[in-house]
Amino acid sequence: MRTGKAVVVITVLLIGALVVSCGPQTATPTQAPPTVAPTKAPPTAAPTQAPPAPEYIEFGASIPLTGKYGALGAMVKPGYEIAVADINAQGGVYVAEYGKKIPIRLTIYDDESDPTKAVSKLESLYAEQKVVVYLGGAASDMHAATAAVAEKNKVPYLGIAFALYSIHQQGYRYLFSPFPKSPAQARDVFEILNASIPKGERPTKVAIFQETTDWGIELGNLWKENAPKYGYEVVVYETYAPRAEDMSAMILKAKEAGAETLLTVPSPPDGITMVKQMAELGWTPKFTLMIRAPENVAWGETMGKNGDYVTIFPGWHYAVNFPGVDELNAKYQAQFGRPADLLTGPAYACVQIAAAGIEKAGTLDRDAIRDAIAAIQMMTVVGPVNFNTDGTGNVLNPLVQWQNGKQELVWPPEHATAPLAYPAVPFDQR
Amino acid sequence: MTAKKGISLALLVAGVAALWLVPSMGVSDSLLNLLILMFIYTMLASSWNILGGYTGQVNLGHAAFFGLGTLVARILYTGGRPLFLALLAACVVPVAFSMLIGIPAFRLRLRGDYFTIGTLALSQILYITIGNVLPKITYLPIADIQNYQLGPRYHIILASALFTIGVAYALVKSRLGLGMVAVRENEDAAESLGINAFAHKLLALAVSAFLGGLTGGAYAYYQTSYYFNYTFSPPWSLEPVTMTFIGGVGTIHGPVIGAVFFVLLKEWLVMKVGEYHLIIFGVLFLLVVLFLPGGLVEAWERIRRVFTHRPAGKIVLSPSAEGSDLSGNSLASERKEVPMI
């Protein structure tokens, strides 16, 4: 009676699986242990009345450290780690409920630039590490996937390196992003051009190369919608799939149409392909806004002179004049030999905000932390931050330009390290 | 009913009841998620096994059925349609699609490697096309996310898994199932005995697509967010093959055992060695095919043989405990007996 035996085997296996799974599960994520042993809390609360405090406040992040967004994730990770180290160096975050400072323990997973893996990592962080705050990775399509997990698990989520606005229109309550969003990027590019370049010299013929991703579609449409309002004409609107190897057709179309401005949001590999092919085909837009790909610090080295004149909305620059930036730059310089990278500052700010939220809430209850973050108004390394009801942050949107192999801050003028270099010198004359 | 059969039935009922009651035992979400993954992979492997294991038509494009199931269910469910309707459509649409490919493929007597490569290519085409046509992420409705309950999802997916195993069991115990096995073993010989190979293969394809679609529907109801083309990606085609071979191809319990083993090992290996787990699974798959073609089911038979001291000649192997290669050819040099399960 083989069926009966099969049934026994299946039942035993399933029950065995259940029992095995009930046991303690180990995780070996990259962890940033506290750099300094926790110090004694200020004696503001009677120790006998406070409940036993946890050893750590658990923060969890899933970051693309490898894969197509690896270069972006590599800028985000040190921001989180340095901020956690700085806070722990002060003894941690004061939590009134326990009457003491508690250090943060940050657990970081590499999601390999795969949104599905990022979702899975966040689930693990919730289930295994019992995190009270999620720190996001990088790139809009990654955040688009993970923000829903935060909402499901009711864990406050602070994410940067994504400008996708539509996530914030889903009605999520736990998502916060101290980072410029698509509507600002779609508006600011034209306002900056009009403010920086005299009428008659402006690059009014626009080519938009729209990546077929959530954010690519969103920003492409917003640019198209905004252009006429500021006196610009979209002469070419082309779409391409991520990881496209041949972009020559759309480049030639833009060249033939006499496009003077290029607006696009390629991933780092696609951005390199795009500019290389533009140089080969001899099309140099007078002005290029290429968000995301040139944020990588290796852009200048990889592209050489072809990488110059390209501008970015990275959300931050090491030259901005806000409290804490110099200290962050010094620590980054000591570790990496250069001032902090573009996404490092916003990442640092996320931890500042989360810590302030916990301190304000006075508890490690996730809902209370969420409410505290929603109401926060504070100064960070990205400047003053507060949040709208949809979780978008009211933050500065600086414009950075590659000039002579360096990322120069060209807007706003009060923070700028160099004026906007315009028009771009043709590729073959650099 | 013999006493032995009665005990087996009682154990089955107790096992199912225990599984059903797991959410009310106050266990962690982590465990529920693990069990849900096991159920989903069980469904995926069992549905693949009907066409690949019992009928010998190795399909490397099962992700097409799974993906279509997720796509249809997700669009209908997020569009406000009732869950039952979404799941039903998730089953029906892949069947319709399977007929579009199955009728010409089987009419043209596309066999072995040609069928396998054809299905792989088709799923890849769908993967790329869906990625281009539907590039945006899909979320569950916000109300569902904010009030997300794992328990009801667990029960629906467990019920779907039991239904899948039940359908597979009923099918292979029937005359149709015998016909499918006959087609797998020797299509020409089966036809010479009056078995309509075309109809049997088509039926197996339809049932496989139906259950693959149901798996997709369950997945779409379970996952909060994913990109539409993700469920058409190659792992959803290759993993059911791996699981079925590891468990025991051409048996009812093989895919279940394979799925449980696969999920537990994968979870553990991912934690320990990250993406290198893919290499480990690849090596494991090769070892199983080469040295243990009947998978863990055969391993169990061998172990039992050692402890019961039963002579090898009297061991009764299930239809494909001997296993088959990727072209559906039997790997066993000598067949003992061919009961259905």
* C-beta atoms of B132 and A13 within 8 A: no
In a domain, A26, yes or no: no
Min Cα separation A391/chain B (Å): 15
Tokens of A231: 């006196």
| B253: nearest Cα among B298, B210, B218, B291 | B298
Residues A99 and A243 in one domain: no
% of chain B beyond a pLDDT of 70: 89
| DSSP class of B60 | S
- Residues A148 and B123: their CA atoms lie apart, in Å, by 28
Q: What is the pLDDT of residue A226?
A: 97
The per-residue pLDDT for range B175-219, each reduced to its tens digit, is: 999 999 999 988 889 999 899 999 999 999 999 999 999 999 999
Min Cα separation B102/chain A (Å): 31
Residues A337 and A371 in one domain: yes
In a domain, A16, yes or no: no
In a domain, A5, yes or no: no
- Would you mind telling me the total number of residues written for chain B in this entry? 341
In a domain, A10, yes or no: no
Residue range A337-363: average pLDDT? Answer: 96
In a domain, A6, yes or no: no
Residues A176 and A196 in one domain: no
Strand partners, A312: A400
Q: What is the pLDDT of residue B68?
A: 97
* Dihedral sign, Cα of residue B103, residue B326, residue B184, residue B253: negative
* Dihedral sign, Cα of residue B314, residue B318, residue B323, residue B328: positive
Cβ–Cβ under 8 Å, residues A131 and A156 = no
Q: How far is CA B47 from CA A244, B202, B210, B245, B305, in A?
A: 35, 14, 8, 13, 30
Tokens of A315: 């959300």
Tokens of B251: 């048996």
| Residue to substitute from A131, A152, A211, interface B, most B β-carbons within 10 A | A152
The per-residue pLDDT for range A18-56, each reduced to its tens digit, is: 333 333 333 334 444 433 333 334 444 444 567 789 999
* C-beta atoms of A4 and B145 within 8 A: no
In a domain, A11, yes or no: no
In a domain, A12, yes or no: no
Q: How far is CA A290 from CA A22, A217, A232, A320, B218, in A?
A: 49, 15, 17, 21, 40
Q: What is the pLDDT of residue A430?
A: 87
Min Cα separation B272/chain A (Å): 7
* C-beta atoms of A1 and B316 within 8 A: no
Cβ–Cβ under 8 Å, residues B215 and B40 = yes
Higher pLDDT, A1 or A393: A393
Residues A72 and A144 in one domain: yes
CATH code at position A247: 3.40.50.2300
- Residues A212 and A244: their CA atoms lie apart, in Å, by 11
Strand partners, A288: A262, A310
Residues A348 and A223 in one domain: no
* C-beta atoms of A171 and B142 within 8 A: yes
Overall domain count for chain A: 2
Residues A207 and A65 in one domain: no
A172 neighbourhood in chain B, CB within 8 Å? 142, 145
Half-sphere exposure of A122 (CA within 13 A, CB side): 34
Residues A128 and A168 in one domain: yes
Strand partners, A62: A109
What is the pLDDT confidence band of residue A1, given thresholds at 50, 70 and 90? very low
Residues A173 and A300 in one domain: no
Q: What is the pLDDT of residue A48?
A: 54
| Sequence spans of domains, chain B | 27-314
Residues A74 and A144 in one domain: yes
Measured between CB atoms, does B149 come within 8 Å of chain A?
A: no
Based on the number of CB atoms within 10 Å of its own CB, is B298 exposed (0-12), middle (13-18) or buried (19 or more)? buried
| DSSP class of A209 | E
Residues A159 and A191 in one domain: no
Q: Please determine, for residue A414, whether its predicted confidence score (pLDDT) is greater than 90.
A: yes
What is the pLDDT confidence band of residue A244, given thresholds at 50, 70 and 90? confident
What's the CATH code, domain B27-314? 1.10.3470
Residue range A161-167: average pLDDT? Answer: 92
φ and ψ at B33, to 5 degrees?
Answer: -60, -40
Residues A202 and A221 in one domain: yes
Higher pLDDT, A144 or A251: A251
- Residues B73 and B213: their CA atoms lie apart, in Å, by 9
Q: Which amino acid is at A357?
A: G
B135 neighbourhood in chain A, CB within 8 Å? 212-214, 216-217, 241
Q: A236 lies in which domain range?
A: 182-312+398-429
Q: How far is CA A371 from CA A43, A138, A354, in A?
A: 26, 24, 11
Quick one: angle between helices B295-308 and B253-273, nearest 10? 110
Query: Does ipTM come in above 0.85?
Result: no
Tens digit of each residue's pLDDT, chain B (341 residues) = 677 788 888 999 999 999 999 999 988 888 888 899 999 999 999 999 999 999 999 899 999 999 999 999 999 999 999 999 999 999 999 999 999 988 888 888 777 788 888 899 999 999 999 988 998 889 898 899 988 888 999 999 999 999 999 999 999 899 999 999 999 988 889 999 899 999 999 999 999 999 999 999 999 999 988 889 999 999 899 999 999 999 998 899 999 999 999 888 887 887 777 667 778 878 888 888 888 888 888 888 888 888 876 655 444 444 444 444 444 444 443 333 333 33
Residues A260 and A404 in one domain: yes
Q: What value does the mean pLDDT of chain A take?
A: 88
Q: What is the pLDDT of residue B33?
A: 87
Measured between CB atoms, does B18 come within 8 Å of chain A?
A: yes
Cβ–Cβ under 8 Å, residues B95 and B104 = no
Q: Which amino acid is at A308?
A: D
Q: Which amino acid is at A287?
A: F
| B139: nearest Cα among A144, A49, A40, A10 | A144
In a domain, A14, yes or no: no
The per-residue pLDDT for range A288-345, each reduced to its tens digit, is: 999 989 998 889 999 999 999 999 999 999 999 999 999 999 999 999 999 999 999 9
Q: What is the pLDDT of residue A114?
A: 84
